[in-house]
A = this chain, B = another copy of it.
Amino acid sequence: MKRLIIALIVGMFLSVQVRTQEPTKTIAERLGYPRDAKLLIVHADDLGMAHSVNVATIKGLQTGLVNSGSIMVPCPWLPEIAAYARANPQADLGLHLTLTSEWANLRWGPVSPKDRVASLLDKDGYFYLTETDAAAHADPKQVEMEITAQIERAKALGIQPTHLDSHMGTLYQSKELFEVFLRVARNQKLPVRVAKTWAARADYLSSALGPDDVYIDRVLDINPTVGPQDWAKFYSDALKKLEPGVTEVVIHLAHDDAEMQGATANHPDWGASWRQRDFEYFTSETFRKVLQENQIKLITWRELGKLIK
């Protein structure tokens, strides 16, 4: 008995030793980069929402400075971005799974038959305007049906998504929805936008993740408190002090044109001029220099997806 106890104690000690000697690899290391590498995904959301969004984002992708994006399958301009995806199979395009329709003048609804996803729809037959209303009404089974239908529709149109994220974060609003999201993503063997730093927001955002899930260190995004004149400074400052690991900067590109002004009327946040400013910064020489001077390396969701077994 004594021997057994000693053996167990020694065993526990050795186990602790081994863990100390081989700490869990960071996501950067799993990708083959040094632990202190500063890795960045420059990701444009909302593809397919409007022509203006598609045009500006495609221009951004063509510069190489914007290197990833995600597509809203229920939106009217999906066919235009699907044609781009088919013609550019190397592009790092994912799906921006969509359960909200947030603008007053321009709206959309589900890919699934409406009577089968009634919990996702407002009285006008569109997705709810806000992520909180969407999450409050959503039946998780209908969410699973709808997001699966969005993935299938995208694939049928020749889009091979490299990752999944959630428009307006609806799928992060509750544990139940997040579990649906992870289950669908695991079935598809696709990485999802989840950041290590989000654990503080809600327990379920970290506890639901397992050792085989691939997630990033943090998301960087601008917010309405930044004035238009401080736009470039906000991004450049944030990038100059970028921490090691994988950061996704989530941006919204479009032109400040009639269509986008009409779509986002009376809603300056994430509106037409906001998106034009994002477009200007992320296609600028300023941004290119900040990347170079701060040894920031661009990576894609495609690379992250390769870690999934």
Contact = CB atoms under 8 A, between A and B. Distances in A.
A31 interface: no
B125 A105 contact: no
Interface string A62-86: 0000000000000111111001000
A79 B106 contact: yes
A194 to B, nearest CB: 30
A156 B126 CA distance: 13
A193 interface: no
Contacts of A114: 112-114
Interface stretch (A7-15, A87-95, A257-265): A257-265
A200 B257 CA distance: 46
Contact of A258 (B76, B153, B255): B255
Nearest to A105: B80
Number of this chain's copies in the assembly equals 2
A293 interface: no
B77 A105 contact: yes
Nearest to A77: B106
Specify which of A51, A78, A157 lies most central, judged by the most chain B CB atoms within 10 Å of its CB.
A51
A111 interface: yes
Contacts of A255: 258
Contacts of A105: 51, 77, 79-80, 83
A157 B265 CA distance: 19
A175 interface: no
A107 interface: yes
Interface in A116-163: 116, 123-125, 153, 156-157
Nearest to A262: B51
Contacts of A112: 114
A47 to B, nearest CB: 13
Contacts of A78: 107
A55 B153 contact: no
Contacts of A55: 258, 262
A247 interface: no
A23 to B, nearest CB: 49
A100 interface: no
B79 A76 contact: no
Interface of A: 50-52, 54-55, 75-80, 83, 104-108, 111-116, 123-125, 153, 156-157, 255, 257-259, 262-263
Given A77-B106, A124-B153, 18 more contacts: A51-B105, A51-B106, A51-B258, A51-B262, A52-B258, A54-B262, A55-B262, A76-B106, A77-B105, A79-B106, A79-B107, A79-B124, A80-B106, A112-B114, A114-B114, A257-B258, A258-B258, A259-B259
13 contacts: A50-B259, A51-B258, A51-B262, A55-B262, A76-B76, A76-B107, A77-B262, A80-B106, A113-B113, A113-B116, A255-B258, A258-B258, A258-B259
Shortest 7 CB-CB distances between A and B: which pairs? A80-B105, A259-B259, A51-B262, A113-B113, A76-B76, A113-B115, A113-B114
